[in-house]
A and B are shown apart, each in its own frame.
Chain A
Amino acid sequence: MRRIQGHPARVALLVLAALATTLFAIGCGSSNNSSSNDNAQKSVGAGEGQLNLVAWPGYVADPWKSDFEKQTGCKVSVKEAGTSDQMVDLMRTGQYDGVSASGNASLRLVAGKDVAPVNTDLVPNYSTIFDDLKNQPYNTIDGTNYGIPHGRGANLLMWNTNDVKPAPTSWDVMFDPAKAAKYKGKISAYDDYIYIADAAVYLKAHQPDLGINNPYELDSKQFDAAVALLKQQKPNVGEYWSDAAAQIQAFSNGDDQVGTTWQYQYFALLADKQPVAASPASQGFLPSEGATGWSDTWMISSKAAHPNCMYKWMDFIVSPAANAEVAQSFGEAPAQSKSCDTATLTAAAKADGYPADPKFCDEYHAADPSFWKNVYYWITPVADCGDSRGSVCMDNNAWSAAWTQIKG
C-alpha cells in the first residue's frame, strides 16, 4: 500500500470552507425579481402554435379543447392541479402561459408578479359576461383587471346513498361530533388550508355569537374556534383529498362515504352508476348553512411564452358555445350570459354527450346574483379585515401553519 499524507482531503476541506463563505455571501440579500411583463398587451398577433395551461380538472377537455385547437392552430397542453397552492407553485416556475385561478390563487399571483394585467379590449366576448363577475376583488386589483371570468360554483356536500341515512341537509354530518362519529374514517375533507373557511361558514350559522361575517376575514378568536372545530373533526376524517380522481376512486371503493367535493367528481360517479347524491340541484347544491365556493378567472402569465395563443384562449373559453360546454361538462354556472340562451345550451349539451337541459342556467343560478351571497368564493386571507377591526385578521401564513396543526 502506498502511503501519502493529507493533501487531497485537505484541499477538499479548503474548498468546502471557500464554498461556505460564498454561500453565506449569497445567503444575505434578497431574491431578485426577474423581469416580467407588467403591462397589459396592446394587441393580439398571430398564434404561436402552442399553449401551456394550468387548470382545474375538467376545465380543458374535449370537445371544446379540440375546437380551440382547430380554430386557432394553438396546440393545448394542460397540467391539472388539485389545489390553488399547486397552481401558484406551477405558475411561479414561469413555464406556463396561463392559469384558471380561483380567488385564493389570483391575489398571490398578482402580488408575486407572476401574472400580467389583461386588456379586456382584446377579449370581445368579455363584454357580455355577467356583471356581478366583473371588477371583483379577486380579479381586479387597484383598478387593474387581471383576468377573464370563467365560471363559478359552490363546493358540494356529497354522500353515499346506501351508507348515509337520512339524506343530510346540513354540513353538520361532517362537523357535529355526534353525527360525524357515525362515519368515522369515512369522511372526505379538502386538503388545503382554505378549508378552514368551511368551518367558519358552519360556525357562522351554528355559533352566531362569534360574529363571523366573512369566513375569510377571521380575527384570532373566530380563527381559533374554526381551527378547534377542525381538530375535533380530524379523528373522523378518512382522507384529506386534493386529487379529484383519487376522491372519485375512494367513493367508488367505499373508502369514503360523505365529504366535500366538486360537481366534477359527482358527475363522474353518477356516470359510473355509483350510489351517490348531493344537496339538491334545485337549491343550487347548497346545504342549509351555505357553502364556500369559487369564482375562477383565466389569468395570463407575466412570463408567457405564447401570449397570443393565451389571449385567443381567453376569448374562446368565454365564447357562448365553449362556455356552455365547459359549464355543463364540469357542473358550474357559466360566466358568459349568452351561454344561457336555450339553443346554445342544447347544442352544448349535445356536444358534451349529455341530455339537453334548457333549465341549466336556472339550476345553477347563473344569472341570480342574490344566490351567490350565500356562496363564499375562495379568496386569499389577508391581515386587513376590511372592516372596523382593522388589520387583526389572520393572513395566509397563519392559515397555512394552522392547517399543519389541524392535520396533526
Chain B
Amino acid sequence: MEAAGLSAGQQKRSVSRRLADLFYGRPRLQAGTLLAGPVGWLVIGYLGSLAVLLIAAFWSVDALSGETTRGFSLDNFNTIVTDPVYRTVALRTVGVAAATTITDALLAFPIAFYMAKLASPRMKTVLVIAVLMPLWSFYLVKVYAWRTMLSTGGIINWALNPLGLHGPGFGTTAVWLVESYLWLPFMILPIYAGLERIPGNLLSASEDLGAKPAATFRRVILPLVFPAVVAGSIFTFSLTLGDYITPSLVSPSTQFIGNIVFTSHTNNLPLASAYAVVPILIMVLYLFIARRLGAFEHL
C-alpha cells in the first residue's frame, strides 16, 4: 500500500493493527499486560501494606512522646500472648462470629430455598430486591436503630415488659443479634445462587428413586449447596470478626478484637498492629479451608 493513498482512518487502523499483531500469538505478553495493573496494585500495594503492618508489630513506642522506635522487639507479641485479656477478647470475638454465621445460615436457608425453587419469576425478582435493599441503608444507621430498639426505653422492652420479660439490653447478646442482622443478605444471596444451580431433574431423579423430601434435602441438596454456604460464611465471619463500631454502639462496656485495635492504634500503634495479626491469621486459615471446600466458585 502506498502511504500517500491511505486515509486517516486506515492509518489509525494500521497503528492499532500493529499493536494487535504484537499481542497476537503471544499469550504470555497478553496475560502479562493484563496482570500488570491488578498484580501491581494488589500484590505490591495491598500485600505490601499488610507486610508493613506486620513489621510495625515489631516496633515499640515511647510512653510520653509517642515516637515509634523502629527496631525489632517481640514485646508486643509477648503481651498479647501472655496477658489473658487478649485471649479472652479474641475468644469472645470468634465465638460471636461463629454464632452469627450459624444463625445467618439457619435464617437464610428457608428464604433462599423459597426464592430458588418455589417462587414464580416475578416473586423471585421481588424477593431479591427485598433482600438487597437493606444493604443500601447505611450500616451505621441500622446499628443505631438497633441501639434505639435495645435501649431501656426502646421498642423491645416496651413489647416484652408487659409479659414480664425484658430484652437482652446492651451486651454480647446484642452484638450477636445485630451482627446476624447486618450480614444476613450476604448469606442469603450465595445460598440462593447455589440452590438455583441445582438442576431440577436431579431432584426429580432423587424423588423417582424413592427419597422423601427430607432425605433428598439431606443427601442431594445439602452437599451441593454447602460450598455456597461456606462462601457466604466468609463474609459473615470476617465482617463480625473485625467490627468495632457495632460493639461500641450496642455493647459499650465489652471489648472485641476490633475495639482493642482501634483504641490502641492511636496510642500504641505497634501493639495494635500486633493484635491485628490475630484476625489476619484466623481469616487466612478460614479462606484456605473455604477454598478447599469449593466456596470460591460461589462468591
* B64 close to A108 (CB less than 8 A): yes
Q: Is residue B264 within 8 Å, beta carbon to beta carbon, of the partner chain? A: yes
Is A408 touching B88 in the complex (CB atoms < 8 A)? yes
How many residues of chain B have a CB within 8 Å of chain A?
A: 52
Whether A27 pairs with B64 at a CB distance below 8 angstroms is no
Contact A238 B268 (CB under 8 A): no
Assess whether A397 is in contact with B63, with CB atoms less than 8 Å apart.
yes
- Give the residues in chain B near A111, CB-CB below 8 Å: 62, 64-66
A400 & B267 in contact (Cβ 8 Å cutoff): yes
Q: In the assembled complex, how far is the CB of residue B70 from the closest CB belonging to chain A, in whole angstroms?
A: 5
Cβ of B216 < 8 Å from any Cβ of A? no
Question: Are A30 and B70 touching (Cβ within 8 A)?
Answer: yes
CB distance from A222 to the nearest CB of B (A): 19
Q: How many residues of chain A get a CB closer than 8 Å to chain B's CBs? A: 52
Which listed segment binds B: A16-24, A50-58, A197-205, A345-353?
A16-24
Which of B118-126, B196-204, B250-258 forms contacts with chain A?
B250-258
- Chain B nearest Cβ from A352, distance in angstroms: 30
- Whether the pair B64, A107 counts as a contact (CB closer than 8 A) is yes
Say yes or no: A8-B72 contact (C-beta < 8 A), given A254-B151, A408-B85: no
In the bound complex, do residue A400 and residue B152 qualify as a contact, i.e. CB atoms below 8 Å apart? no
Is the pair A23, B48 in contact by a Cβ cutoff of 8 Å? yes
**Distance of A4 Cα from B23 Cα, bound (Å):** 14
B28 at the interface (CB under 8 A from A): yes
Bound together, the chains give a CA A7 to CA B268 distance in angstroms of 41
Given contacts A7-B28, A408-B255, contact A253 B63 (CB under 8 A): no
Contact indicator A240/B64 (Cβ below 8 Å):
no
CB-defined interface of A8-39 with B at 8 Å, one 1/0 digit per residue?
Answer: 10011001100110011011111101000000
A80 at the interface (CB under 8 A from B): no
CA gap between A77 and B276 in the complex, in Å: 34
Given known A-B contacts A16-B47, A30-B70, A108-B64, A89 and B266 have beta carbons under 8 A apart: yes
* A407 and B253 contact, CB distance less than 8 A: yes
Chain A facing B: main interface SS? helix
Could you say which of A15, A237, A404 has the most chain B C-beta atoms within 10 Å of its C-beta?
A404
CB contact list, B37-87 vs A, under 8 A: 39-40, 43-44, 47-48, 51-52, 55, 58-59, 61-72, 79, 83, 85-86
* Chain B residues with CB below 8 A from A255, complex form: 151-152, 170
A32's closest neighbor in chain B, by CB?
Answer: B67
Contact check, B85 vs A185: say whether CB atoms are below 8 A apart.
no
Complex: A88 Cα to B51 Cα, angstroms: 27
User: Does B19 sit within 8 A of A, measured CB to CB?
Assistant: no
Q: Tell me if A325 is interfacial: C-beta within 8 Å of chain B.
A: no
Shortest distance between the CB of A120 and any CB in chain B (Å):
24
A373 at the interface (CB under 8 A from B): no
Q: Can you list, as one digit per residue, whether each of B237-254 has a CB less than 8 Å from chain A (1) or not (0)?
A: 000000000000000111
Known: A86-B266, A191-B252. 17 other contacts (CB 8 A): A8-B35, A12-B35, A16-B44, A26-B70, A27-B59, A28-B72, A113-B65, A238-B170, A239-B170, A253-B151, A253-B154, A254-B152, A255-B151, A382-B63, A407-B253, A408-B88, A408-B89
Please list the 3 inter-chain residue pairs (A to B) with the smallest Cβ-Cβ separation, ordered nearest first.
Answer: A89-B266, A2-B27, A111-B65
The chain A residues found within 8 Å of chain B, CB to CB, are 2-4, 7-8, 11-12, 15-16, 19-20, 23-24, 26-31, 33, 85-86, 88-89, 92, 107-108, 111-113, 185, 191, 234, 237-241, 253-255, 380, 382, 395-397, 400-401, 404-405, 407-408
